[in-house]
Amino acid sequence: MQPPLAGLWTPSATPFHADGSINTGRLIEHCKSLLADGSTGLAILGTTSEANSLTVGERRLIIDACADAGIAPERLIPGTGATALEDAVALTRHAGELGCAGVLLLPPFYYKKVSDDGLFAFVAQLIERVGAKVPRVLLYHIPPIAVVGWSIDLVGRLIEAFPGVVAGMKDSAGDFDHVVEMIETFPGFAVFPGAERHLLQGMQAGAVGCISASANVNARGIADLIRHWREPDAARRQDHANAIRNAVESRGLIPSIKAVLAARYGDEGWQAVRPPLTALNADTRRELLADPAITELLETVPA
């Protein structure tokens, strides 16, 4: 039986060798650290993972590397969205055959102003082509980057057509009111805010957890907030998480996360990103690591 979709699922950053290839050894060490730090599971191949800068083969390599390293598939929710339907089908089928907890599905985002009917057809054909072992699908709603999103009406149609399969959403719209609307409109639908900035309010409204980029550096703090959101000091935990989020987000989220990981692990190779992203320059990196929230974080997390 699949575990409930809840808790902290960290979209793990992807480390690269100097030649740009994936450093799977470093990746597995980081994934295991995230689980030890309190992540319920790993939303591998998300935006923070630079998944859309990876080939389909590389994305499959990462899924397999995690499974081969002994990370239970039920603790993985790979991102399998793609602009080409067959790419999304192949990755989703592979995740389902391994027994992953679910997949995180971006809409096909290249063509803009597409209809809900077109997006419905994409999901319907994906589910039908994957077949009997189709995993649970979490819709990835991130219109600030993808532009294309999952409308409320479309989500309702998908839940009705594929009950138990279309099971949740990562809501990265950046609009807390939208998170609340999703929770209230679809009882039992697993809604994960895509950042921890309003996590306490989200849990109070009925969110099931969080899928957040900055959990790469603050999994302990975010997981603690999810576990203890009903306690009197929850607001303090939220403020602390926000300070860390502000520090990395204000300087370029993915390169900043990688700079902090380089400092945590004592490994400069962590700073590498794939074009078109660029690593932080030396001055910005020094400024980031001198931020009080990051300084305190690095003093308290294990290497």
Tell me which of 111, 113, 133, 140 is the catalytic residue. 140
Torsion 77-80-86-91 (CA) sign: negative
The rounded distance, in Å, linking the Cα atoms of 212 and 196 is 6
Q: Measuring CA to CA, which residue among 112, 114, 90 is closest to residue 103?
A: 90
Sequence-distant (≥ 6) Cβ neighbours of residue 227 within 8 angstroms: none
Longest CA–CA span in the chain (Å) reads: 53
104: enclosing H helix or E strand: strand 103-105
To the query of whether residue 170 is one of the catalytic residues in this protein, the response is: yes
Characterize the bridge pairing of strands 137-141 and 190-193. Answer: unpaired
Any long-range contacts for 97-100 (C-beta under 8 Å, 24+ apart)?
A: 97/133, 98/63, 98/67, 98/73, 99/73, 99/74, 100/63, 100/73, 100/74, 100/76, 100/135
Catalytic residue chosen out of the listed positions 112, 170, 258, 265: 170
Among this protein's residues, is 140 annotated catalytic? yes
What gap in Å lies between CA 86 and CA 84, rounded to an integer?
6
Helix (H) or strand (E) holding 173, with range, is none
Identify the CA nearest to 79 among candidates 92, 68, 89: 92
- For the annotated catalytic residues, the residue numbers are 140, 170
